[in-house]
Structure 1
Amino acid sequence: MALPKKALIAIPAKHFEFYDDGSETGLFYTEALHPYSVFAEAGFEVDLVSETGSFGLDAHSTEDQFLTEEDKAVYRDPEAPFSVSLNKNLKKAADVDPDEYGVFFAAAGHAAICDYPSATALQSVAQRIWDNGGIVSAICHGPAILPYVRDKETGKPIVDGKRVTGFTTQGEIDLGLLDRIKKDGAPLIEDSAAAAGAEYVAPAHPFDDLSIADGRVVTGANPASAHSAARRVVEAFGRL
Protein backbone atom coordinates (compact mmCIF):
# COMPACT_ATOMS: atom_id res chain seq x y z
CA MET A 1 0.00 0.00 0.00
CA ALA A 2 1.35 3.39 -0.98
CA LEU A 3 2.20 5.74 1.86
CA PRO A 4 0.26 9.01 2.05
CA LYS A 5 2.09 11.91 0.42
CA LYS A 6 1.64 13.95 3.55
CA ALA A 7 4.30 15.30 5.92
CA LEU A 8 4.10 16.12 9.61
CA ILE A 9 6.53 18.79 10.79
CA ALA A 10 6.97 18.54 14.55
CA ILE A 11 7.85 21.68 16.46
CA PRO A 12 8.76 22.10 20.14
CA ALA A 13 5.92 23.18 22.37
CA LYS A 14 8.14 24.45 25.15
CA HIS A 15 9.49 28.00 25.08
CA PHE A 16 11.33 29.60 27.96
CA GLU A 17 13.96 32.15 28.90
CA PHE A 18 17.26 30.68 27.81
CA TYR A 19 19.75 33.21 26.49
CA ASP A 20 21.98 35.55 28.45
CA ASP A 21 20.04 38.54 27.13
CA GLY A 22 16.89 37.19 28.80
CA SER A 23 15.20 36.17 25.55
CA GLU A 24 13.38 32.89 24.94
CA THR A 25 14.22 29.80 23.01
CA GLY A 26 11.47 27.94 21.19
CA LEU A 27 10.95 27.01 17.56
CA PHE A 28 13.78 28.13 15.29
CA TYR A 29 11.58 29.67 12.62
CA THR A 30 13.27 28.57 9.39
CA GLU A 31 13.69 25.00 10.59
CA ALA A 32 9.95 24.63 10.06
CA LEU A 33 9.47 27.17 7.25
CA HIS A 34 12.09 25.77 4.88
CA PRO A 35 10.97 22.12 5.11
CA TYR A 36 7.37 23.26 4.76
CA SER A 37 8.28 25.07 1.53
CA VAL A 38 10.24 22.11 0.15
CA PHE A 39 7.51 19.60 0.96
CA ALA A 40 4.72 21.79 -0.41
CA GLU A 41 6.63 22.40 -3.63
CA ALA A 42 7.11 18.64 -3.97
CA GLY A 43 3.36 18.11 -3.76
CA PHE A 44 3.03 17.00 -0.14
CA GLU A 45 0.25 18.05 2.15
CA VAL A 46 1.88 19.43 5.30
CA ASP A 47 0.71 19.75 8.90
CA LEU A 48 2.52 21.43 11.78
CA VAL A 49 2.18 19.62 15.09
CA SER A 50 3.47 20.12 18.64
CA GLU A 51 3.04 18.05 21.78
CA THR A 52 0.52 20.48 23.28
CA GLY A 53 -0.79 22.26 20.19
CA SER A 54 1.02 25.43 21.24
CA PHE A 55 4.47 26.89 20.63
CA GLY A 56 6.70 29.93 20.98
CA LEU A 57 9.38 31.24 18.66
CA ASP A 58 13.07 31.36 19.42
CA ALA A 59 13.65 35.09 19.74
CA HIS A 60 16.87 35.04 17.74
CA SER A 61 15.54 32.93 14.88
CA THR A 62 13.71 35.84 13.25
CA GLU A 63 16.72 38.16 13.25
CA ASP A 64 17.80 39.47 9.84
CA GLN A 65 20.92 37.29 9.81
CA PHE A 66 18.81 34.13 9.71
CA LEU A 67 16.11 35.21 7.23
CA THR A 68 16.22 35.68 3.48
CA GLU A 69 13.98 38.31 1.92
CA GLU A 70 11.62 35.50 0.94
CA ASP A 71 11.56 34.25 4.55
CA LYS A 72 10.83 37.77 5.80
CA ALA A 73 7.92 38.11 3.38
CA VAL A 74 6.32 34.96 4.81
CA TYR A 75 7.02 36.00 8.39
CA ARG A 76 5.31 39.35 7.84
CA ASP A 77 2.29 37.88 6.02
CA PRO A 78 -0.30 36.41 8.41
CA GLU A 79 -2.17 34.92 5.45
CA ALA A 80 0.79 33.06 3.96
CA PRO A 81 0.02 29.32 4.01
CA PHE A 82 2.88 28.60 6.42
CA SER A 83 1.79 31.42 8.75
CA VAL A 84 -1.76 30.11 8.78
CA SER A 85 -0.59 26.58 9.49
CA LEU A 86 1.68 27.69 12.33
CA ASN A 87 -0.40 30.38 13.98
CA LYS A 88 -3.96 29.23 13.34
CA ASN A 89 -3.93 25.53 12.49
CA LEU A 90 -1.18 24.11 14.69
CA LYS A 91 -2.27 20.62 15.76
CA LYS A 92 -1.84 18.75 19.02
CA ALA A 93 0.08 15.50 18.64
CA ALA A 94 -2.49 13.40 20.49
CA ASP A 95 -5.19 14.59 18.09
CA VAL A 96 -3.58 13.54 14.78
CA ASP A 97 -3.85 10.19 13.03
CA PRO A 98 -0.29 8.96 12.32
CA ASP A 99 -1.58 6.73 9.52
CA GLU A 100 -2.32 9.86 7.48
CA TYR A 101 1.39 10.67 7.12
CA GLY A 102 4.33 9.24 5.21
CA VAL A 103 6.91 11.66 6.63
CA PHE A 104 7.81 12.82 10.13
CA PHE A 105 10.19 15.79 10.29
CA ALA A 106 11.31 17.18 13.65
CA ALA A 107 12.12 20.88 13.47
CA ALA A 108 13.77 22.36 16.49
CA GLY A 109 15.47 25.22 18.26
CA HIS A 110 17.24 24.71 21.56
CA ALA A 111 13.83 24.16 23.19
CA ALA A 112 13.65 20.79 21.45
CA ILE A 113 16.25 19.18 23.70
CA CYS A 114 14.04 19.98 26.67
CA ASP A 115 10.78 19.17 24.87
CA TYR A 116 11.21 16.11 22.65
CA PRO A 117 12.62 13.63 25.21
CA SER A 118 9.35 13.89 27.17
CA ALA A 119 6.99 14.47 24.23
CA THR A 120 5.40 11.03 24.37
CA ALA A 121 2.56 11.78 21.94
CA LEU A 122 4.97 13.07 19.29
CA GLN A 123 7.21 10.07 19.89
CA SER A 124 4.22 7.79 19.37
CA VAL A 125 3.33 9.50 16.10
CA ALA A 126 6.91 9.18 14.83
CA GLN A 127 6.94 5.53 15.89
CA ARG A 128 3.78 4.75 13.96
CA ILE A 129 5.00 6.50 10.82
CA TRP A 130 8.21 4.49 11.05
CA ASP A 131 6.34 1.22 11.61
CA ASN A 132 4.26 1.99 8.53
CA GLY A 133 7.41 2.26 6.43
CA GLY A 134 7.64 6.04 6.33
CA ILE A 135 10.51 8.50 6.68
CA VAL A 136 11.56 9.82 10.10
CA SER A 137 13.77 12.89 9.95
CA ALA A 138 15.06 15.68 12.16
CA ILE A 139 17.10 18.88 12.00
CA CYS A 140 19.59 20.56 14.35
CA HIS A 141 18.35 19.80 17.91
CA GLY A 142 15.42 17.77 16.55
CA PRO A 143 17.37 14.48 16.66
CA ALA A 144 16.73 14.57 20.42
CA ILE A 145 13.53 12.68 19.58
CA LEU A 146 15.18 9.90 17.56
CA PRO A 147 16.38 7.68 20.44
CA TYR A 148 12.71 7.31 21.45
CA VAL A 149 11.67 5.85 18.09
CA ARG A 150 12.48 2.16 18.02
CA ASP A 151 12.73 -0.66 15.54
CA LYS A 152 9.94 -3.06 16.43
CA GLU A 153 12.03 -6.13 15.54
CA THR A 154 15.24 -5.29 17.40
CA GLY A 155 13.81 -3.03 20.09
CA LYS A 156 16.74 -0.69 19.50
CA PRO A 157 16.48 2.98 18.44
CA ILE A 158 15.98 3.37 14.69
CA VAL A 159 19.26 5.29 14.54
CA ASP A 160 21.25 2.33 15.90
CA GLY A 161 24.00 1.63 13.38
CA LYS A 162 23.02 4.57 11.18
CA ARG A 163 24.92 7.70 10.18
CA VAL A 164 23.26 10.80 11.60
CA THR A 165 24.05 14.43 12.19
CA GLY A 166 22.63 17.23 14.33
CA PHE A 167 23.84 20.31 16.14
CA THR A 168 27.41 19.90 17.30
CA THR A 169 28.72 20.21 20.83
CA GLN A 170 31.31 22.61 19.44
CA GLY A 171 28.44 24.76 18.23
CA GLU A 172 27.05 24.92 21.76
CA ILE A 173 30.47 25.97 23.02
CA ASP A 174 30.77 28.62 20.31
CA LEU A 175 27.36 30.02 21.28
CA GLY A 176 28.27 30.03 24.97
CA LEU A 177 25.35 27.72 25.79
CA LEU A 178 27.02 24.52 26.92
CA ASP A 179 26.85 25.33 30.64
CA ARG A 180 23.18 26.31 30.39
CA ILE A 181 22.33 23.06 28.63
CA LYS A 182 24.15 21.03 31.26
CA LYS A 183 22.41 23.01 34.01
CA ASP A 184 19.04 22.14 32.45
CA GLY A 185 20.02 18.47 32.27
CA ALA A 186 19.22 18.46 28.56
CA PRO A 187 20.96 16.09 26.14
CA LEU A 188 23.67 17.15 23.73
CA ILE A 189 22.85 15.80 20.29
CA GLU A 190 26.23 14.17 19.79
CA ASP A 191 25.92 12.37 23.13
CA SER A 192 22.35 11.20 22.62
CA ALA A 193 23.17 9.92 19.13
CA ALA A 194 26.12 7.92 20.44
CA ALA A 195 24.07 6.53 23.32
CA ALA A 196 21.47 5.35 20.80
CA GLY A 197 24.12 3.47 18.81
CA ALA A 198 24.33 5.93 15.92
CA GLU A 199 27.45 7.05 14.08
CA TYR A 200 27.42 10.81 14.56
CA VAL A 201 28.84 12.87 11.68
CA ALA A 202 29.72 16.52 12.28
CA PRO A 203 29.89 19.23 9.62
CA ALA A 204 33.34 20.72 9.03
CA HIS A 205 32.17 23.82 10.89
CA PRO A 206 29.14 23.90 13.24
CA PHE A 207 27.02 26.06 10.94
CA ASP A 208 27.90 24.47 7.59
CA ASP A 209 25.10 22.86 5.58
CA LEU A 210 25.18 19.11 6.14
CA SER A 211 22.38 16.60 5.76
CA ILE A 212 22.51 12.82 5.70
CA ALA A 213 20.09 10.18 4.48
CA ASP A 214 20.66 6.66 5.78
CA GLY A 215 17.77 4.53 4.62
CA ARG A 216 14.55 5.96 6.04
CA VAL A 217 16.37 8.15 8.58
CA VAL A 218 17.27 11.67 7.43
CA THR A 219 19.04 14.26 9.59
CA GLY A 220 20.39 17.79 9.20
CA ALA A 221 23.05 19.54 11.26
CA ASN A 222 21.71 23.06 11.82
CA PRO A 223 19.31 25.71 10.47
CA ALA A 224 21.41 26.10 7.32
CA SER A 225 20.71 22.43 6.56
CA ALA A 226 16.91 22.64 6.65
CA HIS A 227 16.50 22.90 2.88
CA SER A 228 18.92 20.13 2.01
CA ALA A 229 17.56 17.80 4.69
CA ALA A 230 14.02 18.31 3.42
CA ARG A 231 15.13 17.64 -0.14
CA ARG A 232 16.76 14.41 1.01
CA VAL A 233 13.49 13.46 2.68
CA VAL A 234 11.63 13.99 -0.60
CA GLU A 235 14.22 11.88 -2.43
CA ALA A 236 14.07 9.12 0.18
CA PHE A 237 10.26 9.12 0.05
CA GLY A 238 10.47 8.70 -3.71
CA ARG A 239 12.53 5.54 -3.26
CA LEU A 240 10.00 3.84 -0.98
Structure 2
Amino acid sequence: MKKILVVLTNTIKYLGTQQATGLWLGEATEFVDEVTKVGFSVDYVSPKGGFVPLDPRSFKYTDKSTMDIYSSPDFQQRALTNSLKPEEINPKDYLAIYYTGGHGVMWDFPTNQKLQQITNDIYQQGGFVTSVCHGIAGLLNVKDDSGNYLITGKKITGFTTTEEILAGKRKVVPFLNEDVAKLHGADFQKKRAYKEFAIQDGQLITGQNPFSARAVAKLLIKNKN
Protein backbone atom coordinates (compact mmCIF):
# COMPACT_ATOMS: atom_id res chain seq x y z
CA MET A 1 0.00 0.00 0.00
CA LYS A 2 1.58 3.27 -1.14
CA LYS A 3 -1.40 5.62 -1.15
CA ILE A 4 -1.84 9.02 0.53
CA LEU A 5 -5.11 10.87 1.10
CA VAL A 6 -4.87 14.62 0.41
CA VAL A 7 -7.55 16.78 2.05
CA LEU A 8 -8.73 19.98 0.33
CA THR A 9 -11.22 22.74 1.24
CA ASN A 10 -14.56 23.62 -0.35
CA THR A 11 -14.71 27.12 1.17
CA ILE A 12 -14.87 29.81 -1.51
CA LYS A 13 -14.68 33.00 0.58
CA TYR A 14 -13.93 34.26 4.07
CA LEU A 15 -17.26 33.95 5.83
CA GLY A 16 -18.93 37.31 6.33
CA THR A 17 -16.92 38.90 3.52
CA GLN A 18 -16.64 38.90 -0.26
CA GLN A 19 -12.93 38.05 -0.12
CA ALA A 20 -12.01 34.98 -2.13
CA THR A 21 -10.15 32.12 -0.50
CA GLY A 22 -9.76 28.38 -1.04
CA LEU A 23 -6.91 25.91 -1.40
CA TRP A 24 -3.41 27.38 -1.31
CA LEU A 25 -2.31 25.72 -4.52
CA GLY A 26 1.35 25.06 -3.72
CA GLU A 27 0.49 23.34 -0.44
CA ALA A 28 -1.14 20.59 -2.48
CA THR A 29 1.08 20.52 -5.57
CA GLU A 30 4.46 20.72 -3.86
CA PHE A 31 3.57 17.87 -1.52
CA VAL A 32 2.13 15.81 -4.37
CA ASP A 33 5.21 16.47 -6.50
CA GLU A 34 7.50 15.11 -3.79
CA VAL A 35 5.54 11.98 -2.91
CA THR A 36 4.57 10.93 -6.43
CA LYS A 37 8.08 11.12 -7.82
CA VAL A 38 9.15 8.43 -5.32
CA GLY A 39 6.29 6.10 -6.18
CA PHE A 40 3.36 7.06 -3.96
CA SER A 41 -0.10 7.67 -5.38
CA VAL A 42 -2.64 10.16 -4.04
CA ASP A 43 -6.39 10.56 -3.78
CA TYR A 44 -8.14 13.85 -3.10
CA VAL A 45 -11.00 14.35 -0.65
CA SER A 46 -12.87 17.42 0.59
CA PRO A 47 -15.55 17.88 3.26
CA LYS A 48 -18.35 18.06 0.68
CA GLY A 49 -16.63 16.43 -2.28
CA GLY A 50 -16.69 17.92 -5.76
CA PHE A 51 -15.46 21.44 -6.50
CA VAL A 52 -12.38 22.82 -4.76
CA PRO A 53 -11.74 26.58 -5.11
CA LEU A 54 -8.26 28.10 -5.26
CA ASP A 55 -7.02 31.05 -3.25
CA PRO A 56 -6.10 33.57 -5.97
CA ARG A 57 -3.18 34.89 -3.92
CA SER A 58 -1.49 31.50 -4.07
CA PHE A 59 -0.66 31.97 -7.75
CA LYS A 60 1.98 34.50 -6.71
CA TYR A 61 4.04 31.67 -5.26
CA THR A 62 4.11 29.00 -7.95
CA ASP A 63 7.04 27.12 -9.44
CA LYS A 64 7.27 24.96 -12.53
CA SER A 65 6.24 21.75 -10.77
CA THR A 66 3.17 23.47 -9.31
CA MET A 67 2.07 24.76 -12.69
CA ASP A 68 2.74 21.39 -14.32
CA ILE A 69 0.52 19.61 -11.80
CA TYR A 70 -2.11 22.36 -11.90
CA SER A 71 -2.19 22.07 -15.70
CA SER A 72 -2.63 18.30 -15.68
CA PRO A 73 -6.08 16.85 -16.47
CA ASP A 74 -5.66 14.45 -13.55
CA PHE A 75 -5.32 17.24 -10.97
CA GLN A 76 -8.02 19.35 -12.56
CA GLN A 77 -10.48 16.47 -12.54
CA ARG A 78 -9.66 14.50 -9.39
CA ALA A 79 -8.64 17.41 -7.14
CA LEU A 80 -10.36 20.58 -8.31
CA THR A 81 -13.55 19.32 -9.96
CA ASN A 82 -14.44 15.88 -8.60
CA SER A 83 -12.74 15.52 -5.23
CA LEU A 84 -14.04 12.55 -3.26
CA LYS A 85 -16.52 12.79 -0.40
CA PRO A 86 -15.49 11.44 3.02
CA GLU A 87 -18.19 8.76 2.65
CA GLU A 88 -16.32 7.36 -0.34
CA ILE A 89 -13.08 6.84 1.60
CA ASN A 90 -11.87 3.54 3.07
CA PRO A 91 -9.15 4.47 5.59
CA LYS A 92 -7.54 1.04 5.19
CA ASP A 93 -6.42 2.08 1.70
CA TYR A 94 -4.06 4.78 3.00
CA LEU A 95 -0.72 4.93 4.74
CA ALA A 96 -1.10 8.66 5.46
CA ILE A 97 -3.49 11.58 5.39
CA TYR A 98 -2.32 15.09 4.51
CA TYR A 99 -4.29 18.24 5.29
CA THR A 100 -3.55 21.13 2.94
CA GLY A 101 -4.12 24.77 3.85
CA GLY A 102 -5.48 28.01 2.56
CA HIS A 103 -7.65 30.08 4.87
CA GLY A 104 -10.79 28.31 3.69
CA VAL A 105 -9.96 25.24 5.75
CA MET A 106 -10.59 27.23 8.93
CA TRP A 107 -14.32 26.88 8.29
CA ASP A 108 -14.78 23.37 6.91
CA PHE A 109 -11.99 21.25 8.40
CA PRO A 110 -12.37 21.57 12.21
CA THR A 111 -15.96 20.34 12.54
CA ASN A 112 -16.06 17.58 9.94
CA GLN A 113 -16.56 14.46 12.01
CA LYS A 114 -16.24 12.09 9.07
CA LEU A 115 -12.78 13.40 8.22
CA GLN A 116 -11.87 13.22 11.90
CA GLN A 117 -12.86 9.56 11.99
CA ILE A 118 -10.86 8.81 8.84
CA THR A 119 -7.87 10.55 10.40
CA ASN A 120 -8.07 8.57 13.62
CA ASP A 121 -8.59 5.31 11.72
CA ILE A 122 -5.43 5.91 9.66
CA TYR A 123 -3.53 6.81 12.82
CA GLN A 124 -4.74 3.74 14.73
CA GLN A 125 -3.65 1.42 11.92
CA GLY A 126 -0.12 2.82 12.15
CA GLY A 127 -0.41 5.45 9.43
CA PHE A 128 0.79 9.03 9.47
CA VAL A 129 -1.30 12.13 10.12
CA THR A 130 0.21 15.17 8.41
CA SER A 131 -0.64 18.79 7.66
CA VAL A 132 0.81 22.09 6.52
CA CYS A 133 0.02 25.69 7.44
CA HIS A 134 -3.72 26.22 8.10
CA GLY A 135 -4.21 22.52 7.44
CA ILE A 136 -3.51 21.97 11.11
CA ALA A 137 -7.14 23.02 11.60
CA GLY A 138 -8.06 19.52 10.46
CA LEU A 139 -6.08 17.99 13.33
CA LEU A 140 -7.22 20.22 16.19
CA ASN A 141 -10.40 18.33 17.10
CA VAL A 142 -9.45 14.77 16.15
CA LYS A 143 -9.76 12.39 19.09
CA ASP A 144 -8.22 8.95 19.55
CA ASP A 145 -10.03 5.78 20.60
CA SER A 146 -9.81 6.86 24.25
CA GLY A 147 -11.49 10.17 23.58
CA ASN A 148 -8.33 12.24 23.96
CA TYR A 149 -7.23 14.84 21.46
CA LEU A 150 -4.74 13.28 19.08
CA ILE A 151 -2.44 16.28 19.38
CA THR A 152 -2.31 16.32 23.19
CA GLY A 153 1.30 16.09 24.38
CA LYS A 154 2.61 16.10 20.79
CA LYS A 155 5.03 18.53 19.20
CA ILE A 156 3.24 20.08 16.24
CA THR A 157 3.32 23.27 14.20
CA GLY A 158 1.08 25.24 11.89
CA PHE A 159 0.32 28.77 10.77
CA THR A 160 1.24 30.95 13.73
CA THR A 161 -0.56 33.89 15.27
CA THR A 162 2.29 36.14 14.16
CA GLU A 163 1.92 34.92 10.58
CA GLU A 164 -1.84 35.48 10.74
CA ILE A 165 -1.27 39.08 11.80
CA LEU A 166 1.33 39.59 9.08
CA ALA A 167 -1.12 38.14 6.54
CA GLY A 168 -3.67 40.75 7.58
CA LYS A 169 -6.32 38.11 8.34
CA ARG A 170 -6.37 38.13 12.13
CA LYS A 171 -9.78 39.82 12.26
CA VAL A 172 -11.52 37.61 9.69
CA VAL A 173 -10.49 34.10 10.77
CA PRO A 174 -12.85 32.34 13.21
CA PHE A 175 -10.03 31.30 15.57
CA LEU A 176 -6.25 31.10 15.82
CA ASN A 177 -4.74 27.69 15.15
CA GLU A 178 -1.87 28.25 17.56
CA ASP A 179 -4.24 29.11 20.42
CA VAL A 180 -6.53 26.11 19.88
CA ALA A 181 -3.58 23.72 19.50
CA LYS A 182 -2.24 24.84 22.88
CA LEU A 183 -5.72 24.69 24.42
CA HIS A 184 -5.96 21.05 23.34
CA GLY A 185 -2.66 20.19 24.96
CA ALA A 186 -0.24 20.31 22.03
CA ASP A 187 3.36 21.40 22.38
CA PHE A 188 3.20 24.03 19.64
CA GLN A 189 6.54 24.67 17.95
CA LYS A 190 7.40 27.58 15.67
CA LYS A 191 10.27 29.21 13.87
CA ARG A 192 10.70 32.55 12.12
CA ALA A 193 7.59 33.68 10.25
CA TYR A 194 7.30 32.46 6.66
CA LYS A 195 10.41 30.30 6.82
CA GLU A 196 10.32 26.58 6.02
CA PHE A 197 9.78 24.49 9.12
CA ALA A 198 8.38 20.98 9.59
CA ILE A 199 8.45 18.76 12.63
CA GLN A 200 7.71 15.12 13.39
CA ASP A 201 6.47 13.60 16.63
CA GLY A 202 5.81 9.91 16.14
CA GLN A 203 3.08 9.51 13.55
CA LEU A 204 2.36 13.24 13.38
CA ILE A 205 4.18 15.38 10.80
CA THR A 206 3.29 19.05 10.51
CA GLY A 207 4.57 22.12 8.65
CA GLN A 208 4.36 25.73 9.77
CA ASN A 209 3.46 27.71 6.65
CA PRO A 210 3.04 27.59 2.85
CA PHE A 211 6.77 27.21 2.38
CA SER A 212 6.87 23.96 4.36
CA ALA A 213 4.89 21.55 2.15
CA ARG A 214 7.95 19.90 0.62
CA ALA A 215 9.55 19.54 4.05
CA VAL A 216 6.47 17.70 5.32
CA ALA A 217 6.54 15.41 2.30
CA LYS A 218 10.24 14.65 2.75
CA LEU A 219 9.76 13.70 6.41
CA LEU A 220 6.94 11.37 5.42
CA ILE A 221 8.99 9.80 2.64
CA LYS A 222 11.88 9.28 5.03
CA ASN A 223 9.62 7.25 7.31
CA LYS A 224 7.88 5.17 4.65
CA ASN A 225 10.79 4.20 2.37
Q: Which letter does structure 2 place at the counterpart of 1:72?
A: M
Is the contact between residue 51 and residue 94 of structure 1 (CA under 8 Å) also seen in structure 2?
Answer: no
8 Å contact from structure 2 (residues 30, 65) kept in 1? no
**C-alpha separation in 2, matches of 1:234 and 1:84:** 26
Partners of 1:170 and 1:150 lie apart in 2 by 27
Question: Which portions of structure 1, spanning 4 or more consecutive aligned residues, are displaced by more than 6 angstroms?
Answer: none
The yes-or-no answer on 1:237 pairing with 2:224 is yes
**SS at structure 1 position matched to 2:139:** helix
Partner of 1:104: 97
SS of alignment partner, residue 160 of structure 1: coil
SS at 1:91 equivalent: coil
- The residue aligned with 1:140 is 133
SS of 2:200 mapped into structure 1: strand
Specify which of 209, 219, 225 is matched with residue 222 of structure 1: 209
Q: Is contact 1:165–1:212 with CA below 8 Å preserved after alignment?
A: yes
Q: Which aligned pairs between 1:71-220 and structure 2 lie closer than 5 A?
A: 71-75=66-70, 77-79=71-73, 81-153=74-146, 155-181=147-173, 186-204=174-192, 206-220=193-207
How far apart in 1 are the matches of 2:203 and 2:72? 34
> 2:33 touches 2:65 (CA, 8 Å); kept in 1?
no
The answer for unaligned runs of 5 or more in structure 1 is none
- Show structure 2 runs of 5+ residues with no match: none
User: Residue 16 of structure 1 aligns to which amino acid in structure 2?
Assistant: K
Superposed CA RMSD: 1.8
CA deviation vs aligned residue, 1:15-45 (integer Å, no higher than 9, x gap) = 214698x441111111111111111112112
Percent identity over the alignment?
30
**TM, length-normalised to structure 1:** 0.87
Q: Is the 8 A contact 1:13 1:115 kept in 2?
A: yes
Return closer, same or farther for 1:19/1:208 CA change in 2, 3 Å cut-off: farther
1:135/1:236 contact within 8 Å kept: no
Cα distance in structure 2, aligned partners of 1:84 and 1:30: 17
Count residues with an aligned counterpart: 224
